[in-house]
């Protein structure tokens, strides 16, 4: 999963191909629960580029995209939002897989 340091890098990534942004934070216990199986999901959905967004370091991006709960996912295709799985609830592997399949 790719990460960036600057806001502008995320904005550029949104506009290039099919991407999924995972909004998370180190202190988030629900985010740690999904962490072990994320690499497998990335491989299974190799047509998507995955980006990790630390919500504490990139709060302005969270505000722009109306992401207020974590973990959350927002998908883009060439700058157009194609889907979102945004809430403060814990997410299951099946729910995440269903979301990723819906944004192909």
Residues that are catalytic? 28, 31
Element (H, E) at 85: strand 80-85
73 φ/ψ angles, rounded to the nearest 5 degrees: -125, 135
SS percent in the chain: helix, strand, coil, step 5: 40, 25, 35
């Amino acid at each position: 999963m790719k990460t960036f340091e600057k806001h502008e890098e995320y904005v550029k990534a949104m506009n290039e191909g099919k991407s999924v942004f995972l909004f998370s934070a180190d202190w988030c216990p629900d985010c740690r629960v999904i962490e072990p199986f994320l690499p497998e999901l990335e491989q299974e959905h190799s047509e998507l580029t995955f980006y990790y967004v630390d919500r504490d370091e990139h709060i302005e991006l969270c505000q722009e995209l109306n992401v207020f709960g974590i973990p959350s996912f927002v998908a883009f295709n060439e700058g157009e939002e194609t889907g979102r799985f945004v809430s403060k609830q814990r997410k299951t592997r099946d729910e995440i897989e269903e979301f990723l399949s819906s944004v192909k």
